Amino acid sequence: MPLLKTILFTLLVPGSVTVLIPYWLLGRRWPKPVGIYSYLGIIPLLLGAIFYLWCAWDFAAAGKGTPAPIDPPKDLVVRGLFRYVRNPMYVGIISIVLGEALLFDSGVLLEYAGICFLLMTFFVLLYEEPALTKKFGESYEQYCSNVPRFIPRIPR
């Protein structure tokens, strides 16, 4: 059941953020890539999609929950990409939008990616981290002290 809920949430929220809103911002059309360099945008786009899907799977399989705030994982998920950053799903979503900005040579999508990052950061700081601290207590606090929020630490 968590997998079905995850699919529904993914279509509604990340799908809107990464497909519907960019489509609307681009004038309700997908422009053709501009020049050969713009095809490099496919790399962060695909990596972002892989990051999000991998983490969504980990939420359903290991956490017994979904990415949706109304049905979060019951267990703290610290495997997979969560070993490197606390918010790899958000990193994935931002990567998708940045890839689209590069692919379509769009300053509007670049600005949109910045706005998304700010909104996600505020959501993490004001809601997610306090809620996870309350739910998982010391284990989440220890996880936070060992794993950075968005940018992985370079191993020694």
For the CA atoms of 97, 99, 102, 106, the dihedral, rounded to the nearest 10 degrees, stands at: -20
Confidence band of 155 (pLDDT split at 50, 70, 90): low
How far, in Å, CA of 79 to CA of 139, rounded?
Answer: 14
Structure tokens at 89: 């799903």
Domain 2-146 belongs to what topology?
Answer: Four Helix Bundle (Hemerythrin (Met), subunit A) (1.20.120)
Q: Using an 8 Å Cβ cutoff, are 99 and 38 in contact?
A: no
Q: Decide if pLDDT at 72 tops 80.
A: yes
How far, in Å, CA of 38 to CA of 33, rounded?
Answer: 6
Q: pLDDT tens digit string along 99-140?
A: 999 999 999 999 999 999 999 999 999 999 999 999 999 999
